[in-house]
Homo-oligomer: A and B are copies of this chain.
Amino acid sequence: MKVIKVKDYEEMSQVAVQILLGYMYKDGRVNLSITGGTTPKRMYEILIPYVKDKKQFENVHYYNFDEIPFKEENREGVTISGLRKLFLTPANIKEENIHILDQFNYEVKDEMIKKDGGLDCILLGLGWDGHFCGNLPHTTRFGDGTVRVNCDEKLKERLIDEFDDPKDIPDYYITMGPRSIMQAKNLVMIASGTKKADAVKHLISGEVNENYPATLLTLHPNFTLIIDEDAASLL
């Protein structure tokens, strides 16, 4: 585990961009799985002008690592829609370089990624409760690959913020599990703000257990954690 402590959200975003670009400049196919949500917002803002319409990145392929479908399933899910808006569309990424995980292919997705040569890097956020991707505490086990997680009422409540209309909240969502994430060649996690400080404390403490799922990732041989001062405030 390499821990990079930075000053603030801005520097965290910049360092994340630099690390991602490092993988993207590789010759030959590069497979990245990238996170949506609010934490990477500034990162994508910085990244987009470096990537948009640049021939040198035609070899880079993008994968979403979880998906919350709309209940009606008549449109793309919350994660990929969010990634399109945040990054894929403003960066003009070609459709053939976008590899969607959804409720229709999740059972074969791990095998598909392996055939594509595996993921070179996954960029992940960290939840205040220690979750990563859709691996909320006690929804998946360390041994799980990409799975469908059924939502009880409590889980549905946590999804409310993702939807304008609560009728769209689905009965399940899809996520790459701990096993799938650990297969990547490199993992990079970003965390910013005091709301993440408790989860960060658990990551750094050395413990590894399913109450804080992201603690597992600290065991990956190439795991980089980027935290700002607020996220590091409980260390």
Copies of this protein in the assembly total: 4
A128 within 8 A of B: no
Docked CA distance A141–B218 (Å): 14
Contacting residues, chain B, for A179 (C-beta < 8 A): 206, 208, 218-219
| Contact indicator A19/B29 (Cβ below 8 Å) | no
CB distance from A115 to the nearest CB of B (A): 8
Interchain CB contact (< 8 A) of A142 among B118, B143, B183, B209: B209
Q: How far is the CB of A155 from chain B (nearest CB, A)?
A: 22
A15 to B15, CA, bound (A): 15
A residues 184-207 touching B (CB-CB < 8 Å)? 184-185, 205-207
Bound Cα distance from A178 to B142, whole angstroms: 14
Distance A21 CA – B222 CA, assembled complex (angstroms) = 16
Shortest distance from the beta carbon of A199 to any chain B beta carbon, whole Å = 15
Task: Pick the contact of A22: B2, B25, B143 (CB < 8 A).
Answer: B25
Closest residue of B by beta carbon distance from A25: B19
Cα(A18)–Cα(B19), bound, Å: 8
Q: How far is the CB of A229 from chain B (nearest CB, A)?
A: 14
Interface size bracket, A side: 35 or more
* Distance from A58 Cβ to chain B, minimum over Cβ atoms (Å): 11
Which of B22, B29, B182 is close to A23, meaning CB atoms less than 8 Å apart? B22
Q: A38-69, CB under 8 A of B: which get 1 and which 0?
A: 00000000000010000110000000000000
Binding site for B on A (CB under 8 A): 2, 4-5, 14-15, 18-19, 21-23, 25, 27-29, 50, 55-56, 114, 117-118, 141-145, 178-179, 182-185, 205-209, 215-216, 218-222, 224
| Cβ contacts A to B, 27 pairs, < 8 Å | A5-B55, A15-B56, A18-B18, A18-B21, A19-B21, A19-B25, A21-B21, A21-B22, A22-B22, A27-B224, A29-B117, A117-B117, A141-B208, A142-B208, A142-B209, A143-B207, A143-B208, A143-B215, A143-B219, A145-B206, A178-B219, A179-B206, A179-B208, A179-B218, A182-B219, A220-B221, A221-B221
